Amino acid sequence: MQSKFRALSGALIMAAAAATSAPALADGEVNIYSYRQPFLIQPLIDAFAAETGVKANVIFASKGLGERIAAEGENSPADVLLTVDIGRLDGAKQLGITQPVSSDIVNENIPAQYRDPEGHWIGLTNRARIIYASRDRVDQDSITYEELADPKWKGRICTRSGQHVYTIGLIASMVAHHGEEKTEEWLAGVRDNLARKPAGNDRAQVKAINAGECDISIGNTYYMGKMETNDKEPEQKEWAASVRILFPNAEDRGSHVNLAGVVLAKNAPNKDNAVKLIEFLTSPEAQRIYAETNFEYPVTPGVEVSERVSSWGELKPDALPLADIAKNRKTASELVDKVGFDNGPAS
């Protein structure tokens, strides 16, 4: 199985991840396909190997892993898929490459709103879709998503593409709360308030705020941590210092949150070890590692956020089940095209 696993990796990056502290007689293996970069999950893999003796083999790629598992079919060596965003988690289920996880440990550790009702995906950490606001040009300390359509923000908002999975998730949550018609009106209002056509990633929007091109942007919380600690590109620390985080709708329903999560592959050749890994990833120990390494919010109740994440303010997460948001992703994508969101303001 191991030789086949290596052969199938092709041009993907292979990261064999046996922990140095693992027992000499490892209790089997588990094969991970991951959209999360190896350095982000390595501490988790090391801890899992130390606790269980199971050797983890990791293939990393930025796209196409779900489709790859589907193409490999019954011969796929994949045991689990680690990914980000409810769109990709639900997308894996829709591809037919998952099987339900039946585990009392997982059900006890992960609240129902962060699990697929049928067990096909499990959330591991949260990230909130928040507002980055200029420290110099924005005085208010609270905001709502609905307010982004207010004309007072005309020419002042930056964001990435409306068709990016992160944006689709937020728009889908608006559909779930307000319905399609009102969300279309809102999205057109946000479009008209844009400072420019949507472009770049979340960090690029904060860079634009620092450069004075806009005053607020929409982004994920963990990018603040990545910018604040970026020693290789210290200019990103300057970008981060120019903004503060506003948690939308903190006074009412709470801020939209999305997930990093895991699925159990339909044809997992090492199913027992895969379930062990999934159970470990939901444990308080793993959740603490995840939180410290990736600047994300643990979903296991009682696990504290990191000191850095805590310094950004208190997150009140929207209690809407992520499965309900996933149902509205197609509508959200259609609305982005319908209002010409990615064409920019006045389109």
Question: Over 90: is that where the pLDDT of 197 sits?
Answer: yes
Among 125, 145, 169, CA closest to 324: 169
Question: Over 80: is that where the pLDDT of 11 sits?
Answer: no
Provide the percentage of residues in the chain whose pLDDT is more than 70. 92
Question: Over 90: is that where the pLDDT of 25 sits?
Answer: no
- Per-residue pLDDT band at 85 (split at 50, 70, 90): confident
Question: Over 60: is that where the pLDDT of 94 sits?
Answer: yes
- The amino acid occupying position 148 is L
Place of tokens 């999975």: 165
What tokens were used for 284? Answer: 């308080």
- Per-residue pLDDT band at 17 (split at 50, 70, 90): very low
pLDDT of residue 347: 63
Going from N- to C-terminal start, the domains of the chain cover 2-125+259-305, 128-255+313-343
Please give the model's pTM, rounded to 2 decimal places.
0.85
Task: Taking residues 222-235, report their average pLDDT.
Answer: 96
Question: Over 60: is that where the pLDDT of 15 sits?
Answer: no
CB 276 within 8 A of CB 52: yes
pLDDT in tens, 137-159: 999 999 999 999 999 999 999 99
Among 196, 225, 197, CA closest to 212: 196
Task: Taking residues 299-314, report their average pLDDT.
Answer: 93
pLDDT of residue 13: 36
Q: Can you tell me the distance from the alpha carbon of 80 to that of 271, in angstroms, rounded to the nearest whole number?
A: 9
CATH code: domain 2-125+259-305 is 3.40.190.10
pLDDT of residue 293: 82
Task: Taking residues 72-80, report their average pLDDT.
Answer: 96
Task: Taking residues 212-232, report their average pLDDT.
Answer: 96
Place of tokens 């307000």: 178
- Per-residue pLDDT band at 39 (split at 50, 70, 90): confident
**What residues are paired with 133 via a beta bridge?**
216, 244
pLDDT in tens, 110-128: 999 899 999 999 999 999 9
CB 243 within 8 A of CB 210: yes
Q: Can you tell me the distance from the alpha carbon of 224 to that of 227, in angstroms, rounded to the nearest whole number?
A: 5
Among 296, 315, 147, 162, CA closest to 216: 147
- Per-residue pLDDT band at 62 (split at 50, 70, 90): confident
What tokens were used for 206? Answer: 């904060």
pLDDT of residue 261: 94
Q: Can you tell me the distance from the alpha carbon of 320 to that of 43, in angstroms, rounded to the nearest whole number?
A: 31
Q: How far, CA to CA in Å, does 252 sit from each of 114, 144, 205, 277?
A: 20, 9, 26, 37
**Torsions phi, psi of 75, nearest 5?**
-90, 5
CA angle 211, 200, 197 (to 5 degrees): 80
What are the DSSP calls for 132-143, one per residue? EEETTT---S--
Q: Do you know the residue count of the chain?
A: 347
pLDDT of residue 23: 30
What tokens were used for 100? Answer: 């339900």
pLDDT of residue 166: 93
Q: Do the domains spanning 2-125+259-305 and 128-255+313-343 agree at the CATH topology level?
A: yes
The third-level CATH classification (topology) of the domain covering 128-255+313-343 is: D-Maltodextrin-Binding Protein; domain 2 (3.40.190)
Among 233, 258, 6, 243, CA closest to 113: 258
Question: Over 80: is that where the pLDDT of 188 sits?
Answer: yes
Burial class (CB in 10 A: 0-12, 13-18, 19+), 230: middle
